[in-house]
Structure 1
């Protein structure tokens, strides 16, 4: 059925946009929009693009993802992630397109010690998480016929994510200090997209998707060093108090995938297997 559908992808130059373009494959009618081609904060340009292409699905991967810089530039984060998404939702509603939006585990405060389910109340600790939560609320109020997909600790091709940063240091055999008291789940963009595509046949709503398994940033970094053939003992664990960042992050942000599992959708593989695949491919 996908060959008869039209997909508009925002943020096509980002790691998630690239994964969608690659996974959807040849023969699918896709319009790829970079930041230069469509400023997500410009409602007029958004409407022009959607009106001219008439997509069945808008895959919204464009985002301001700099978590720490969002503390310095909160208005920019809100303009791109929240207000920009509102503009897009309004245009989708006007022209009958289904919206697929990607949110974050950072909408939660990390005070739980069991995985967050879709109906848990968000309570973000930083401006980035706030901007994503507001985007979710704008979508639910404007266009309930949407898919909101929360994910976590994303890594993939062509972006300065955690894996690529740690990998560069691994090849230099550089000692690092990495936080060990924040727990979550790494997610490979290609595995996320693979789970998303069948999801589009399910009822609209909020879904959690991540790779299987959990870890700390410290153990994640150690595994990256191991996969790069570098001594993982070069990584030293530190606490969040010792390693201060501009943005506060949840200490526990594991997302439950029980909703996805109950739908019959195949769950993504274990994160270590995905990481090994990514590093060896790179």
Structure 2
């Protein structure tokens, strides 16, 4: 299997490279080596490499910055995936694209299924939804995996931020009325590999953590795990606050838990994020 991987230096890209099965050949690209918004560049690379699978782990993920940088976010989150989908189709390759829970508005009281109506609240979610639409228009056999609250030992993410703040501060105020499922990037990478091996049908799938929490509850677990691994001199006090007490440029969904029932048809279970958090933080240590 020859895999063209974009976003190779991000959380998912690095975790994917850690788990590549024996015999798979990966061309790992980042924004410096392949500008996915440049259709000609994408076509040249795909034509030369002739992948059997294209995995798009590249994205504009700065949720708040996107509100004032909408054009750039749209180029990367919608234009780029469209270019990759066309190139994958021409190469007769599989295409797996990663999307987000932010395509929903968070008003559902039950986990979102793939067929639920989308209604993004901000530019980031809107551009990711546009990317989904573009991918399916260009190459209907593509697989789109929506995921949520991604963390890992790599890059910048909520877990690493909370660990840093927990070392610096005696008390933290964390939003307690937004709920979702943390997801380890390594488990997303494994799901991509497992779906490829299984020959999964094209379409949209949800994959996330196995237990819903608020950001405050997630922080509690991060701090408890950090203390157990001797990563903190003292446990900070973690206080829950409302979204209205922590204003941000972008509005975020209040409840974005995803149902993983569809992807389970391929034997893929939701991410055991608590176990992954422990191993991830041990690696960070």
Task: Structure 2: give runs of 5+ residues left out of the alignment.
Answer: none
Distance 1:90 1:105 in 2: 24
TM-superposed deviation, 1:91 = 1.5
Aligned equivalents of 2:188, 2:70: Cα separation in 1: 27
What corresponds to 1:110 in structure 2? 106
The residue correspondences of 1:265-276 to structure 2 (distance < 5 A) are: 265-276=267-278
Q: 1:10 aligns with which of 6, 14, 21?
A: 6
CA contact under 8 A between 1:18 and 1:157: conserved in structure 2? no
Between 1:168-177 and 1:94-103, the stretch displaced more is 168-177
Matched, 1:250 2:253: yes
Aligned partner of 2:67 in structure 1 is 71
Q: Secondary structure at the match of 1:275?
A: helix
Where 1:31 maps in the other structure, the secondary structure is strand
Scaled by the length of structure 2, what TM-score is found? 0.94
Displacement of 1:171 in angstroms is: 2.5
What does residue 151 of structure 1 align with?
Answer: 147
Q: Check 1:268–1:57 CA distance in 2 against 1; reply closer, same or farther (3 A cut).
A: same
How many residues are treated as equivalent by the alignment? 277
Task: Report the CA distance between 1:223 and its aligned residue.
Answer: 1.1
> Secondary structure of 2:262's partner?
helix
Pick one of 125, 137, 141 that aligns with 1:141: 137
Q: In the aligned structure 2, how far is the partner of 1:124 from the partner of 1:141?
A: 19
Query: 4+ residue runs of structure 1 moved beyond 4 angstroms?
Result: 230-233
Shift of 1:186: 0.2
SS at match of 1:228: helix
Report the Cα offset of residue 172 of structure 1. Answer: 2.8
TM superposition shift of 1:233: 5.4
Secondary structure (helix, strand or coil) at the match of 1:52 reads helix
Q: Please, what is the CA RMSD of the aligned residues? A: 1.3
Q: Please name the residue that 1:217 is paired with.
A: 215
1:95 aligns with 2:94: no
Shift of residue 220 of structure 1? Answer: 0.6
Match of 1:24, SS?
coil
For 2:45 and 2:31, locate their aligned partners in 1 and report how far apart those are by CA, in whole Å. 13
Gapped regions of structure 1 (runs ≥ 5): none
